[in-house]
């Protein structure tokens, strides 16, 4: 029975996380922006109505795969989590459903934009890099290879 319990303990986080879109509300922002213990957290903001976002996410995912221990990639849809079916479908198409995926769950989405980054006006894609030393970097638009290389 111990084995069953151990297996369950290992399984549960996976069940909750993998392929499950989680809401992002204003009250979650402070935790999301908290500097990681080491390396970088990359918050990749995308929208269903953004044709540039897929290739941007691909680039960030490739960077994360190169530095799996140092980069935490969080994928955030600025569309309402009410559209979870469309968001989930697109995430699977983009093969981004293996990352922590979140979508806006906030009555006032522009307020969430502001809380995440006051220097961001909602244009997508937007990437927010939070470093362990507390510094931040915000970039709008599809990242060039040069910009990607500067993240790490």
Binding stretches for another protein (CB under 8 A): 1, 4, 8, 12, 15-16, 19-21, 47-53, 56, 80, 82-85, 88, 90, 107-111, 113-115, 118-126, 140-142
CB burial class (10 A; 0-12, 13-18, 19+) of residue 138? middle
Beta strands of 62-123 (E only): which ranges?
Answer: 71-80, 101-104
The minimum distance between CB 83 and another protein, in angstroms, equals 7
Q: Output the smallest distance, CB 71 to another protein, in A.
A: 21
Residue 7, Cα to own-chain centre: how many angstroms?
A: 28
Work out how close the CB of 47 gets to another protein at its nearest, in angstroms, rounded to a whole number. Answer: 7
Whether the CB-CB separation of 10 and 98 falls below 8 Å is answered with no
Nearest distance from residue 95's CB to another protein, in Å?
16
Q: Using the minimum distance from each CB to another protein, give the nearer residue, 20 or 66.
A: 20
Distance (Å, whole) CA 72 – CA 50:
23
Closest to another protein by CB, 107 vs 132, is: 107
Identify the sign of the CA torsion 111, 56, 32, 101: positive
Nearer to another protein, 53 or 61 (CB): 53
């Amino acid at each position: 029975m111990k084995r069953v319990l151990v297996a369950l303990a290992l399984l549960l986080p996976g069940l909750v996380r993998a392929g499950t879109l989680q809401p992002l509300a204003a009250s979650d922002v402070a935790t999301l922006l908290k500097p990681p213990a080491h390396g970088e957290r990359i918050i990749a903001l995308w929208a269903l109505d953004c044709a540039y976002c897929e290739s941007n996410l691909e680039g960030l995912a490739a960077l994360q795969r190169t530095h799996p221990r140092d980069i935490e990639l969080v994928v955030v849809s600025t569309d309402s989590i009410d559209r979870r079916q469309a968001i989930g479908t697109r995430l699977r198409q983009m093969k981004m459903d293996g990352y922590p995926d979140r979508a806006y769950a906030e009555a006032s989405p522009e307020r969430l934009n502001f809380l995440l980054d006051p220097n961001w006006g909602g244009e997508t894609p937007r990437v927010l890099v939070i470093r362990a030393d507390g510094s931040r970097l915000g970039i709008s638009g599809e990242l060039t290879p040069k910009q990607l290389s500067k993240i790490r």
